[in-house]
Chains A and B, each alone.
Chain A
Amino acid sequence: MADTHCYLPIEPCTILQVEAWDKTLPAFEAELSRQLGAKLPAAVGETESLGGWAIIRVAPRRFWLVANEKARLSCSIEPELGSQLWLSEGRLRLRLSGPHTFDILRACVAIDWQAEEAKPGRAVQTSFHHVPVVVMRTAEDACDLLVPRSFAQSLGEWVAEVAAPFVTGQGLIVGAAPHLPAGILSP
């Protein structure tokens, strides 16, 4: 049952974090969705998409705007309302897709992919071998792993080794492992 549709490109990942203060949350949300011209995900883990961006609520008062391709976006939050911070350098995106996506993931993270919280369109923050990662379920059989840059090679190799049995000699994942550092340093 070897299968070649398993890819593991490692890409940079543009992220803007915005966060409200405890008391200003409603005003902050109103202002943010006005600036973005989009509605905001209601609960932690839910996402909304706008243009090339995904809006994720990563904590009760904290949102991540994650760009799918290198994209800019303007949005400015007054200190009185909340805070804002670019996080585009610290994380890399591992794209997993194909029928074996979850055969691979079950050896990486303890997430129930049939649960509400992990349905397509959800973002799951969890632990991958002691490292905090965000797993964005982008489709039925596709996930993006946002991993801290300093751990990306180590975790990438882990994924590659898990995936090996599912991928024919040609399969990209197997080949990818040794080249990961390159992929990471010059994305």
Chain B
Amino acid sequence: MSSQVRRLASGGRIDRSQPFEFKFDGRSLAGYRGDTLASALLANGVTLTGRSFKYHRPRGIFSAGPEEPNALVTAGMGSRREPNLAATTLELSDGLVAESQNRWPSLAFDLQGVNSLFAPFLTAGFYYKTFMGPTRRAWMFYEHFIRKAAGLGKAGIEPDPDHYEVRHAFADVAVVGAGPAGLSAACAAAKAGARVTLIEQDFLLGGQLLGERPESAAAAWLREIEAELQGLGNVTTMTRTAAFGVYDGNVLGLVERCADQGANGGARQALTILRSRAIVFAAGAIERPLVFPNNDRPGVMLASAARTYLNRFAVLPGRKVVVATTNDGGWRTAFDLAAAGAEVEVADLRAEPAPGLQAEAARLGIAGRTGTQIAGLKGGHAVKAARLTGSGKETEIACDLVCVSGGWSPTVHLTSQLGVKPVYRDAIDGFVPGKLPAGQFGAGSMMGGSATKDAIEQGHRAGIEAASYCGKSVAVPAPAPLDLGETAAAPFRQPSSFGRGKAFVDFQMDVTTADIALAHREGYESVEHLKRYTTLGMGSDQGKTSNFAALSAMGALRNATIPATGTTTFRPPYTPVAIGALAGRAVGHHFKPVRRTPINDWHVANGAEMLEVGLWMRPFYYRASGRDVSEAYVAEMRTVRTTAGLMDISTLGKIDVQGPDAAIFLDRVYANGFAKQPVGRARYGVMLRDDGIVFDDGTTTRLAEHRFFMTTSTAKAADVMSRLEFLLDTVWPDLRVAVTSVTDEWAAMSVAGPRSREILAAAFPDLDVSNDALPHMGLSESEFDGRALRIIRLSYSGERAYEVYVGASAGEAVWRRLVEAGAPFGLKPYGVEALGALRVERGHVAGPEIDGRTTLNDLGLGRMVAKRSGYVGEVLSRRPAFEAPDRQRLVGLECIEEGKRLRGGAILFQPDEKMEGHGRGRVTSITFSPELGRYVGLALLAGGAASEGNEIIAVHPIKAETVRARVVSPVFLDPKGERLLG
């Protein structure tokens, strides 16, 4: 491909038989399968890839992995657009479209580049010191511009068209990282008999070995062990998969970029929750940059990265290269670049590097300088020359690439996430994992080593230990050896430059040594303050390349040791995780499971407007009843009051309570008595919380001496069930009682209205539903089509009413039967809005009144428990504040103003008083009463019943309404309850 000016003619782990086209900032470029966007850009000679966060300085590709601070791009278009992706980990795909970020109008010419001119003012935390005037709200003005300037990529607002999968997985041993250490760990653990999952974020296995020359021994070793792993039946290898977090119980969060990237119906990404018994961490190490003026220019690159681009991607990242290093590793990069035809100079800070190195350098025609360090750079959009200082003299060397290596920082992120503080190790001048908890092991350069040979041996040992921790200890042969002859010389740190010119520590957050000095000067000297004051390490790379440089700089300023200075806290995720991957399929209508009654489809088919009630779908109202809900619910109420209505109440919680001690049990859990409840009778019951506040209400029917059928409110069903089990398991284990939720067993429907009995009789001709056979609160048990049929005469509406329970599978059949039998009598179905309205007319309390703050007395139910004791919640229900004279208690309200209405949420005041503060109470529930021809409501009012007959003002500032109402009894209709009886 002609455009790939920096691509070598041969070599690399790219597939030249599969050329890809892609676009960067509108330019069409070419690459190959096996490239990352970064390697492809470099191959095409693109070195300027973005603008920095604060100063908008030009930036290029700095690394070859997830530690990349600079080369962040936005990929995809429209609803598939995704900002802030590291070009160094973005796998190239055919037709990929990517853009640089944080520049306008163009990358090469960025207007906000002028920020560099203001740089003197834009120091760390400058915004804390200004933007404070002229007015108190001044910040709201400045913030507008600050927000625009801040941020990196731009996100879309369309819903995500792709989908994601969550998978539950299990393993004996999880191995994080597939470099030499991880590979040999996985191999050993598997051979020892453990079920192994090997996790690698890259799309290739090998880790740093991928940076070795393709024809090297390393490559051969890699081929061998990959084949071996495939041969083992008990190893699952996951590539393109980042272990982003370690959680309690050795649970790993893994996110996989699926190979087909959402093509042909597959998921775009998959979250695997891996529960492992043991974990081997072999996450490797990250190379450190050097801190000197203008060290952020495009063309400055980590030494190991340059080597990776050369050997893995067959890209020559520079033709004239300066390698500035503090360790032997940098020389290896120099050797390979020179061998590939680049002109290379090495500047080693140390007086005498390993002898072999200089010999080899000489052989390859590399000018090697010792005791020399890099002091600065020339060039804006690209490096032009490097300034080296050593043994007194300063030289300037023209170049187009500067490779830097300031040593290595072990990847201690994951092991630290559970609170294991990393510990400083002199031998490597860096942090290694602290003491790992049982079941966690570490190996390779992550533990501080730098030689492949050691990595392999440590991995092997860790694999065996991890397996035996899981009780798997088959003997394992020694691993195939590989020695790359890395020499681990004593560490040597290049002091950060505090001199003239911006020396960057955190490239992504634009934090310089001057910012660190300022933070120190102003007393933000704890590393955590330093971080928060300068935003150091707070970018999407989480400071992978900057943290050590930062704390060594702060250490120097405080003249404190590194361990005394300490690190900031490591948190998940190790690399950013798409929120969609975490949610998997639980999106859209699957956000929460949908709960349907056995009669659901009939409602839908018969024009019900359905409503979400908790997880349930319930009929709100039926369109046939009226144009909108306010018209419909009134019509439906009228039907119930005049003829009869049919309501699906299957959502009620239903609990089967059995056992010789069932009556004693209920007598304790209900505030009102159940001990003497006769068989065949239903009773209304109220439960309290231990703190004496009303918990839930419902009815319980005694089916037999030892058997009760309890119903709860729809909302509290699960809580009540669990509470009953709690009392039986932990408080009264000696009671012989079994409780079982039967909510889904029964379809339930209420037939309510004057004609309800006739309708039942017509529907079930062979049942005796006469008043004597089935009086108010009575029970009739029989069968319908082989399923149990249970009719309980209960009324919520205040009309003669029956609750019909039948085995769920026959629910729709019985419903249809009632609809048919009821038609001649004018029976119509009604929805929850009418249900709620009917109970208000009746003065029944429900959710709005039972709000977790009200007591029995508040709700006018006190008499139920007169002279009872020993029930749950009794003692604390007698606390003084609950008896205060101004306690707000249940009353009824009648709107007495023509053409006006009551509203829920209105606040109550006395006619004469100032309308401010919290008033004397509130309207909890309201309805229009067709029978009374006006709005009525329930309210909680200071003093309660005492003020019956008084006039009161209901104030609704939001609607700018004040309405006069009269305080009345909450029972609006049929106070003696005659309609229920007879």
Contacts and interface: CB of A to CB of B under 8 A. Distances in A.
Direct contact between A and B judged by beta carbons closer than 8 A: yes
B744 A130 contact: no
B593 A85 contact: no
B156 interface: no
Contacts of A176: none
Given A83-B738, A165-B265, A153 B596 contact: yes
B659 A154 contact: no
Contact of A131 (B593, B705, B706): B593
B168 A149 contact: no
Given A12-B809, A107-B166, A165-B266, A114 B745 contact: no
B460 interface: no
B738 A162 contact: no
Nearest to B742: A90
Given A79-B660, A83-B658, A150 B595 contact: yes
Given A89-B744, A89-B809, A106 B706 contact: no
A112 interface: yes
A172 interface: no
Nearest to B195: A114
Interface string B676-706: 0000000000000000000000000000011
Interface stretch (A14-22, A31-39, A47-55, A137-145): A14-22
Interface string A58-93: 000010000000000000000110110101111100
A106 B168 contact: yes
Contacts of B586: 129
A149 B651 CA distance: 12
A12 B598 CA distance: 13
Given A90-B742, A149-B744, A22 B592 contact: no
A115 interface: yes
A40 interface: no
B744 A21 contact: no
A113 to B, nearest CB: 8
Contacts of B745: 87, 89-90
A155 B585 CA distance: 12
A21 B593 contact: no
Contact of B808 (A19, A89, A153, A164): A89
A114 B600 CA distance: 39
A187 interface: yes
Contacts of A130: 592-593
Interface residues of B, number: 46
Interface string B718-753: 000000000000000110101010111110000000
Contacts of A107: 165-168, 584-585
B393 interface: no
B635 interface: no
Interface string B152-181: 000000000000011111100000000000
A85 B705 CA distance: 15
B812 A185 contact: yes
B273 interface: yes
A111 B705 CA distance: 42
Given A154-B593, A187-B809, A85 B658 contact: yes
B168 A151 contact: no
A161 to B, nearest CB: 7
B675 interface: no
B265 A115 contact: no
Contacts of A90: 742-746, 808
A181 interface: yes
A110 interface: yes
Interface in B257-292: 265-266, 273, 275
A151 B167 contact: no
A82 B275 CA distance: 39
Given A21-B736, A89-B745, A165-B266, A150 B597 contact: yes
Contacts of A161: 585
A106 B170 CA distance: 10
B767 interface: no
B631 interface: no
Given A129-B586, A185-B601, A109 B742 contact: no
Contacts of B129: none
B833 interface: no
Contact of A79 (B170, B594, B706, B787): B706
B656 interface: yes
A187 B808 CA distance: 11
A162 B812 CA distance: 30
Interface in A137-187: 148-151, 153-155, 157-158, 161-162, 164-165, 181, 185, 187
Given A21-B736, A83-B658, A158 B590 contact: yes
Interface in A90-133: 90-91, 106-107, 109-112, 114-115, 129-131
Contacts of A91: 744
B944 interface: no
A32 B265 CA distance: 51
A79 B593 CA distance: 37
Contacts of B193: none
Contacts of B595: 150-151, 154
A151 B596 CA distance: 7
Contacts of A187: 809
B448 interface: no
Nearest to B267: A165
Interface in B573-601: 584-586, 590, 592-598, 600-601
Interface string B778-819: 000000000100000000000000000001110010000000
A162 B166 CA distance: 10
6 A-B pairs with the lowest CB-CB distances in the bound complex, closest first: A90-B744, A112-B170, A90-B745, A110-B168, A83-B658, A89-B807
Interface of B: 165-170, 195, 265-266, 273, 275, 584-586, 590, 592-598, 600-601, 616, 656, 658-660, 705-706, 733-734, 736, 738, 740, 742-746, 787, 807-809, 812
5 contacts: A80-B660, A89-B746, A89-B807, A115-B170, A161-B585
Given A107-B585, A149-B808, 5 more contacts: A87-B740, A106-B167, A109-B168, A158-B585, A181-B596
